[in-house]
Amino acid sequence: MNQHFSFEFFPPKTDIGAEKLRDVYRKLAALKPEYFSVTYGAGGSTRERSLGTVMEIQQKSGCSAAPHLSCIGDSRAELAELLDIYKANGIRHIVALRGDLPSGMGASRGELPFASDLVGFIRETTGSHFHIEVAAYPECHPQSMNLDADIRHFIQKVKAGANSAITQYFFSADSYFHFVERVRAAGVDVPIIPGIMPITNFANLVRFSDACGAEIPRWVRKQVASYADDTASIQKFGEEVVTGLCEKLLEGGAPGLHFYTMNQAEPTLALWRNLGLAG
């Protein structure tokens, strides 16, 4: 089976961050991923920086760039303009999302309120040019009533034209396998790639997880708490936990892994080495 490995970056805010990212993508390019994806701030809040990072990666990294695009708060015209630029520059892969509006940007959802609307819009305006990834939530999207509703909405994105999916990160392999089973039972067979979050800065991880609804198991929290400020032990333990998760996922048939690198090479490289992946 052809496995899919990809790495996600966010657009750096400063020149120093941009230089650091260059070093990171050079190191990770050696692993020959399918693509490097670049996040996009909802409502166009990182539009220029995301575009600049995507172009640099596409032209200089030796790997394909896959821009994220979110629809909430953006107009059709703004999205069409970006799609035109990406198409003209040889981009073939898009990660299509609804996004979450940053606080202070008002409550308007814009012309395309859900990711399925964005997927439909991309197909309508660019046909089959792009391979479209969408988000999936094995532990249920935090705004969903329940998993049934969330799976229905996920399937709507596939019916609108998505080719494959990347999941929100999670630490329970069972939630992933259960989600995939439910989607397959509904007759939908697109690849669903687990999103993997290396455990590095635990305070940040807790903050992200509370916001995005990813559950950190109690035993992980307790063990990390016992290390107090011992960062090296937290990172070593985190690496063991996430390596074990990746092994379970790949052994259980996951079609690849998408790493949330947080613009750092080493935590992802360590997982890659532990998993004995080629590169």
Ligand X SMILES: Cc1cc2nc3c(=O)[nH]c(=O)nc-3n(C[C@H](O)[C@H](O)[C@H](O)COP(=O)(O)OP(=O)(O)OC[C@H]3O[C@@H](n4cnc5c(N)ncnc54)[C@H](O)[C@@H]3O)c2cc1C
Query: Which residue of 100, 109, 233, 270 would you call a contact of ligand X, by CB under 6 A?
Result: 100
74 near ligand X, rule: CB under 6 A: no
182: its two tokens: 């439910």
Binding track over 210-249 against ligand X, x by CB under 6 A:
----------------------------------------
Query: Which residue of 150, 205, 263, 268 would you call a contact of ligand X, by CB under 6 A?
Result: 150
263 near ligand X, rule: CB under 6 A: no
Query: Which residue of 166, 180, 205, 262 would you call a contact of ligand X, by CB under 6 A?
Result: 166
168 near ligand X, rule: CB under 6 A: yes
98 near ligand X, rule: CB under 6 A: yes
Tally of CA atoms within 13 A in the half-sphere of 247 that contains its CB:
11
Rounded least distance, CB 50 to ligand X, Å: 8
User: CA angle, corner 39, sides to 14 and 214, nearest 5?
Assistant: 115
143 near ligand X, rule: CB under 6 A: yes
- Indicate the residue among 197 and 224 with the shorter CB distance to ligand X: 197
**If DSSP codes are grouped into helix, strand and coil, which group holds residue 43?**
helix
Where do the H-state alpha helices sit in the chain? 15-29, 47-60, 76-88, 115-126, 147-159, 173-185, 202-212, 218-226, 231-251, 266-275
Task: Please identify, among the stretches 52-60, 109-117, 228-236, 246-254, the one whose residues bind ligand X according to the rule CB under 6 A.
Answer: 109-117
115 near ligand X, rule: CB under 6 A: yes
Contact present, 53 and 87 (Cβ < 8 Å)? no
Which distant-in-sequence residues (6+ apart) come within 8 Å of 155 by Cβ? 183, 186, 188
Q: How far out from the chain centre does Cα 2 lie?
A: 19
116 near ligand X, rule: CB under 6 A: yes
Which distant-in-sequence residues (6+ apart) come within 8 Å of 216 by Cβ? 171, 205, 206, 209
Contact present, 169 and 195 (Cβ < 8 Å)? yes
Instruction: Determine which one of 8, 34, 133, 139 is catalytic.
Output: 8
164 near ligand X, rule: CB under 6 A: no
215 annotated active-site: no
Query: Which residue of 24, 25, 39, 51 would you call a contact of ligand X, by CB under 6 A?
Result: 39
Task: Tell me which DSSP letter residue 92 carries.
Answer: -
Q: Which sequence positions are flagged as catalytic?
A: 8
What are the residues binding ligand X (CB under 6 A)? 39-42, 68, 70, 95, 97-100, 114-116, 135, 141, 143-144, 149-150, 153, 156-157, 166, 168, 195
